[in-house]
Amino acid sequence: MAETLRRGAGPERRPPLILNASGCLDALTAPAVARSLDAFVTKTVTPLPRGGNPPVRIAETDVGLLNSIGLANLGIDAFLERQLPRLGELGVPLWVSVGGFAADGYAASCARLEGRPEVEALELNLSCPNVDGAAGTAAEIVLACRRVTAKPLYAKLSAATWDLGETARAVEAAGADGLSLVNTLRGLALDERTLQPRLGTALGGLSGPALRPVALAAVYACARVTTLPIVGMGGVARGRDALALLAAGASRVALGTVLFGDPQAPARIRAELAEEAALLGFRTPAEAVGAAHGREDGRSATLDQRLRSFPQNTCKLGTNEAVDRRS
């Protein structure tokens, strides 16, 4: 298992860190940060321009971030004409996130991107929680897009389903080249004084720390049922979060929410990741890919392993505000 997974990491010794489809960073305004990433996924582009959802569009909660951007974007025409040429000049491998409202919409966008050499891969956003309406099954959309493009196709899935493994297998069978896991979960936050929803659409997509264990589980579960390379994401804020996703089976790790608070996160996380991996005896972080599947019986760490030496930390630990019991 670990061997198969490791293949996904490719020959690079540098652990691939990429920007997820979120607009958590603007590559044109912050080219230096963009260049510190191994690849850059655009915000989702739809067939027609979209203004997006009514304000308020963003709300921070105790344990995560809610957004309701609603796929605001210029539409594929303006994207191809105005944004893509400039993004192509950055010199960072570029993935385009493609959205749509039916399989043919996705496929039409993929077809138009097919001839563009600036684009390294396509990610199909099959899981935006902020737009209504079923877009057909994930596999149908992948199939339609596969017919029109030879570029690597990544299926971006949500963890909000019991049969994620089945979906993963279905998109693999339909011709996907990889999985992007995970998109946000549906969440709600109320204003403490008015008890009204803080977001204009009431419900929004939950990203950030709260998503970490859910994202890890999704990556782990999919790695056990497909051999597709996986881009892992969800709440990555520290080297150890990235390392855990690699161990669970991701061969690339994507950053989003963390970039708002710390635009220098790519360089920092890359350094932390290398250090943490080295501490655990891996020559490169890429070597840790799939490590969590190491033991066939799935037994957890024994007390003995736990008692092995580990850096003793200081008392400068914040407490977890999420468990603050004062009201």
Partner 1 sequence: MLRRAALSVLGVEPVGPYTLLRLRRGAIRPGVPGQLFMLEAPGRLLPRPMSLCLAPPGELGFLIDPIGPGTRALACLEPGDELGVLGPLGHGFRLDVERPLLVGGGIGIAPLPYLSERLGHPPALVGFRSEWHAEAAALVPRAEVVVEPTLVTERLPEEPWDVLACGPEPMLRALRRLAPSAQLAWEAPMACGYGACYSCAVELDGEWQRLCVEGPVLSGGLR
Residue 25 found at the interface with partner 1 (CB under 8 A): yes
310 Cβ partners below 8 Å, 6+ apart? none
43 or 151: CB nearest ligand FMN? 43
Pick out residues in 116-155 that bind ligand FMN (CB under 6 A): 125, 128
- Please spell the DSSP secondary structure of 211-267, one letter per residue: GHHHHHHHHHHHHHH----EEE-SS--SHHHHHHHHHHT-SEEEE-THHHH-TTHHH
Q: How many residues bind to partner 1 according to rule CB under 8 A?
A: 49
| Residue pointed to by tokens 């855990």 | 244
> Which range touches partner 1 (CB under 8 A), out of 49-57, 129-137, 244-252, 266-274?
49-57
- Kindly list the distances between the CA atom of residue 169 and the CA atoms of 23, 38, 79, 96, 163, in Å, as whole numbers in the listed order: 29, 27, 32, 23, 10
Give the type of residue at 202. Answer: A
Among 1, 2, 52, 268, binds partner 1 (CB under 8 A): 52
Instruction: Please give the Cα distance from 77 to 185 (Å, whole number).
Output: 30
Neighbours of 316 (CB within 10 A): 5
Catalytic residues: 128
User: Residues 270-309 vs partner 1: string with x where CB under 8 A?
Assistant: --------------------------------xxx-xx-x
Smallest distance from the beta carbon of 103 to ligand FMN, in angstroms? 17
Provide the residue type at 224 as one letter: R
Contact of residue 296 among its own copies, ligand FAD, partner 1, none (CB under 5-8 Å per partner type): none
* Position among 1, 2, 56, 72 found at the interface with ligand FAD (CB under 6 A): 56
Nearer to ligand FMN, 236 or 274 (CB): 236
Question: Could you say whether residue 69 binds ligand FMN (CB under 6 A)?
Answer: yes
Tell me if 223 sits within 8 A of 5, measured CB to CB: yes
Sign of CA dihedral 16, 96, 157, 177: negative
* Residue closer to partner 1 (CB basis): 28 or 173: 28
**Residue 185 binds: one of ligand FMN, ligand FAD, its own copies, none (C-beta under 5 to 8 A by kind):** its own copies
DSSP string, 149-208: --S-EEEEE-S-STTHHHHHHHHHHTT--EEEE--PEEE--B-TTT-SBSSTTS-EEEES
CB of 238 to ligand FMN, least distance (A): 12
What is the three-state SS of 273-298? HHHHHHHCCCCCHHHHCCHHHCCCCC
The number of residues that bind ligand FMN (CB under 6 A) is 28
- 83 lies in the binding site for ligand FMN (CB under 6 A): no
Binding site for ligand FAD (CB under 6 A): 56, 59-60, 191, 198, 301, 303, 306
Binding site for partner 1 (CB under 8 A): 22-26, 29-30, 43, 51-52, 55-60, 62, 64-65, 67, 69, 72, 208-209, 257-264, 302-304, 306-307, 309-310, 312-313, 315, 317-321, 323-324
